[in-house]
Structure 1
Amino acid sequence: MKENPAILTALQQQIDDREQWALLTDYMLHESGLPGPRANLTLAGSFAGLFARPEVTETAWELISAWSHLPESEAKTGDPQEYLPFCAVWACGAHYAHADSIRRSQAEERLQAAMNDGRWRLREAAAMGLQSLGEYDFALLRELLDGWRSGATLLEQRAFVAALAHPPLLKAEANVLYCLELAAGIMDGIRSSDSGPAEREHFRVLSKGLEYSLSVFAASLPQPGFAMLRKYAASGDPRLIKIVKSNLGKTRLTKNYPDEVAGLLQLLTTC
Structure 2
Amino acid sequence: MKESPNLPATLQQQMNNRDQWPVLTHDMLQKSGLPGPRANLALAGSFASLCAKPDVTEDAWELITAWAQIPESEAAAGDPQEFLVFCAVWACGAHYAHGAAGRRSQAEGFLRAAMNDARWRIREAAAMGLQSIGEYDFVLLKQLLEGWRAGSTLLEQRAFVAALAHPPLLKPEPNVLYCLEVADGIMEGIGRETSRSADPEHFRVLSKGLEYSLSVFAARLPEPGFAMLRKYAESRDARLMKIVKSNLGKSRLTKKYPVEVAELLQVLTTG
So what's the TM-score if we normalise by structure 2?
A: 0.98
1:192-215 CA-to-partner distances (Å, cap 9, x unmatched) read 133456611100100000000000
CA distance in 2, matches of 1:141, 1:156: 14
Q: Shift of residue 188 of structure 1?
A: 0.3
2:107 paired residue number? 107
- Aligned pairs for 1:117-132 (under 5 A) are 117-132=117-132
**Aligned partner of 1:23: which letter?**
V
User: What secondary structure sits across from 1:74 in the alignment?
Assistant: coil
1:269 paired residue number? 269
Seen in structure 2, the aligned counterparts of structure 1 residues 172 and 226 have a Cα distance that, compared at 3 Å, is same
1:184 paired residue number? 184
1:19 paired residue number? 19
1:245 paired residue number? 245
Between 2-11 and 21-30, report the one with greater CA deviation: 2-11
Unaligned runs of 5+ in 1: none
1:20-51 CA-to-partner distances (Å, cap 9, x unmatched) read 00000011001100000010111101110000
User: What secondary structure sits across from 1:71 in the alignment?
Assistant: coil
1:34 paired residue number? 34
1:228-247 CA-to-partner distances (Å, cap 9, x unmatched) read 00000001111100000000
For the aligned residues, what is the CA RMSD?
1.2
User: What secondary structure sits across from 2:102 in the alignment?
Assistant: helix
Q: Shift of residue 268 of structure 1?
A: 1.0
User: What secondary structure sits across from 2:194 in the alignment?
Assistant: coil
CA distance in 1, matches of 2:7, 2:205: 36
1:142 paired residue number? 142
CA distance in 2, matches of 1:190, 1:2: 43
Unaligned runs of 5+ in 2: none
CA distance in 1, matches of 2:234, 2:261: 14
2:72 paired residue number? 72
1:157 paired residue number? 157
1:258 paired residue number? 258
1:91-138 CA-to-partner distances (Å, cap 9, x unmatched) read 000000000000000000000000000000000000000001100000
So what's the TM-score if we normalise by structure 1?
A: 0.98
Q: Shift of residue 179 of structure 1?
A: 0.1
CA distance in 2, matches of 1:63, 1:206: 31
Between 89-98 and 196-205, report the one with greater CA deviation: 196-205
User: What secondary structure sits across from 2:6 in the alignment?
Assistant: helix
CA distance in 1, matches of 2:95, 2:2: 18
**Aligned partner of 1:16: which letter?**
N
**Aligned partner of 1:14: which letter?**
Q
CA distance in 1, matches of 2:13, 2:90: 19
2:209 paired residue number? 209
Identity of aligned residues (%): 74
Alignment of 1:94 with 2:80, yes or no, is: no
| Equivalent residue pairs, number | 271
**Aligned partner of 2:73: which letter?**
S
CA distance in 1, matches of 2:173, 2:227: 16
Task: State whether residues 3 and 46 of structure 1, in contact with CA within 8 Å, keep that contact through their aligned partners in structure 2.
Answer: no
